[in-house]
Chains A and B, each alone.
Chain A
């Protein structure tokens, strides 16, 4: 495990040493941002809306004490969405979708000698292939988290008002109750860190794939499981450090 951490650190260092001309990366970063971010909008939107809706309904179900005002439901949904559901749960789903794709793509390039072809040409293969993916993910994932927050809160609004658990005014009043702007900043910091973890860990697993198609599949699986695990550990430390 220690040697893997060391190898991962050297891999990250290799992204910045002897890299290619800057103009080459600009187009690649844009392409990756579209590939990774834009193509994830639908899945993130669906998950966020339903998680927000379910969180609101279940919170309402548990708030049976007449002494607790209904507005607290909106407050709880907002806090959970900002602090955990939007940045972290979306990251776990994102790791499954984007992480496996990155590892599979780079792993296939490795076993079909496409990476060797880059190296023979004198191109820093890790930097050329991985750096745009990491930067593209770090740009688009925070935007997806903002979308996730918006749709999560909207999902909560729809589910509670349609079922009659809350009136629209109660829910909106709850959302606005004791709002701390710092939580938005905290959610965005988390999203940037998680984006880096997902893209770099997945690329690392793909880049060091050896063997054949079976190993590409194994690399994809390892990319997802390791990313999820590291996200949860990082989540704990970020909460401890920043809150």
Chain B
């Protein structure tokens, strides 16, 4: 479980996150949604430690990430796996080397154990024959799968996905969404997904937090979101023609 308390972040005097609080449960897909520029990615990057917040707390199972000592912080970091928007694969390394990288750096497995684990994980994400390929030889969807494999190889307890569907076709988006959902359940991870894709929200979002201009405006489940009251959220949801017609039909 990850708990965020009164998180505040500003850049050059401009407030990007305004006292955000919330709880992200283990074993469920927690989604942070909102329009572009509302602070979704900044919130996620503040939680994983890429941006240090101006104030507030981030608790990983009760361990305060910004106030713990270096050893605890390092151990928390080793429990984090992250899928970046552009996959962020190391382009000078093969798929196998990319996925093995966290094990090389952070584990004491021997080479054959590492190779077995990499093969298992690549099989799990449906890339069993891609070991020797370079990232540039992969499609966008395959790169995301490798990114997910790299994120979970070290038995991560916390999985972060920044816009996992960006640049993917609708069919591949659904595959990636489902993969994230399956991994969350299978590995019992606390998963946080930043997205502005309502299809993903309806498909896999167990718990949703909506941000608007740096404020948390609403949170709830994907069954409640269609009836949520905030106007900004309704505008966001109903920008999608399909959802607009769905709501009209329901009404």
With beta carbons under 8 angstroms apart, the residue of B84, B104, B106 that contacts A116 is B84
Asked if A122 is at the interface (CB within 8 A of a chain B CB), the reply is yes
User: Contact: A120 with B105, CB < 8 Å?
Assistant: no
Give chain A nearest CB distance to B63 CB in angstroms.
14
Known contacts being A18-B70, A20-B105, A24-B105, is A120 close to B86, with CB within 8 Å?
no
Q: Which of B73-109 contact A (CB under 8 A)?
A: 73-74, 77-78, 80, 82, 84-86, 88-91, 101-102, 104-106
Known contacts being A120-B48, A120-B49, A121-B105, is A114 close to B77, with CB within 8 Å?
no
- Binary A-proximity of B92-135 (CB < 8 A = 1, otherwise 0): 00000000011011100000000000000000000000000000
Give chain A nearest CB distance to B6 CB in angstroms.
23
Enumerate chain A residues within 8 angstroms of B73, measured Cβ to Cβ: 122
Give chain B nearest CB distance to A209 CB in angstroms.
15
A84 to B84, CA, bound (A): 48
Enumerate chain A residues within 8 angstroms of B160, measured Cβ to Cβ: 120
Enumerate chain B residues within 8 angstroms of A158, measured Cβ to Cβ: none
User: Contact: A114 with B50, CB < 8 Å?
Assistant: no
Known contacts being A18-B70, A120-B82, A122-B77, is A113 close to B88, with CB within 8 Å?
yes
- Binary A-proximity of B140-151 (CB < 8 A = 1, otherwise 0): 000000000010
Enumerate chain B residues within 8 angstroms of A113, measured Cβ to Cβ: 84-86, 88
Give the A-B contact count at a CB cut-off of 8 A: 49
A122 to B43, CA, bound (A): 19
With beta carbons under 8 angstroms apart, the residue of B101, B106, B150 that contacts A122 is B106
Q: Indicate the size class of the contact surface on chain B.
A: 20 to 34
Give the nearest-CB partner of B154 in chain A: A121
Give the nearest-CB partner of B48 in chain A: A120
Enumerate chain A residues within 8 angstroms of B88, measured Cβ to Cβ: 112-114, 116-117
Enumerate chain B residues within 8 angstroms of A112, measured Cβ to Cβ: 86, 88, 91
Enumerate chain B residues within 8 angstroms of A116, measured Cβ to Cβ: 45, 50, 84, 88
Asked if A165 is at the interface (CB within 8 A of a chain B CB), the reply is no
Give chain A nearest CB distance to B47 CB in angstroms.
11
Give chain A nearest CB distance to B206 CB in angstroms.
23
Give chain A nearest CB distance to B218 CB in angstroms.
28
- Binary B-proximity of A5-24 (CB < 8 A = 1, otherwise 0): 00000000000001010001
A121 to B70, CA, bound (A): 14
User: Contact: B77 with A120, CB < 8 Å?
Assistant: yes
Give the nearest-CB partner of A105 in chain B: B92
Asked if A123 is at the interface (CB within 8 A of a chain B CB), the reply is yes
Enumerate chain B residues within 8 angstroms of A123, measured Cβ to Cβ: 105
Give the nearest-CB partner of A128 in chain B: B105
Enumerate chain B residues within 8 angstroms of A120, measured Cβ to Cβ: 48-50, 77, 80, 82, 160
A114 to B98, CA, bound (A): 11
Give chain B nearest CB distance to A49 CB in angstroms.
32
A62 to B170, CA, bound (A): 75
Binding site for A on B (CB under 8 A): 45, 48-50, 70, 73-74, 77-78, 80, 82, 84-86, 88-91, 101-102, 104-106, 150, 160
Besides the known contacts A112-B91, A117-B82, A120-B82, 10 further A-B residue pairs in the complex with CB atoms under 8 A apart: A20-B105, A113-B86, A116-B50, A117-B88, A119-B49, A120-B48, A120-B49, A122-B74, A122-B78, A123-B105
- CB-CB nearest 3 A-B residue pairs: A122-B77, A113-B88, A117-B88
> What are 22 A-B contacts defined by CB distance under 8 Å?
A18-B70, A24-B105, A108-B91, A112-B86, A112-B88, A113-B86, A114-B89, A116-B45, A116-B84, A116-B88, A117-B82, A119-B50, A120-B48, A120-B49, A121-B77, A121-B101, A121-B102, A121-B105, A121-B106, A122-B74, A122-B106, A123-B105
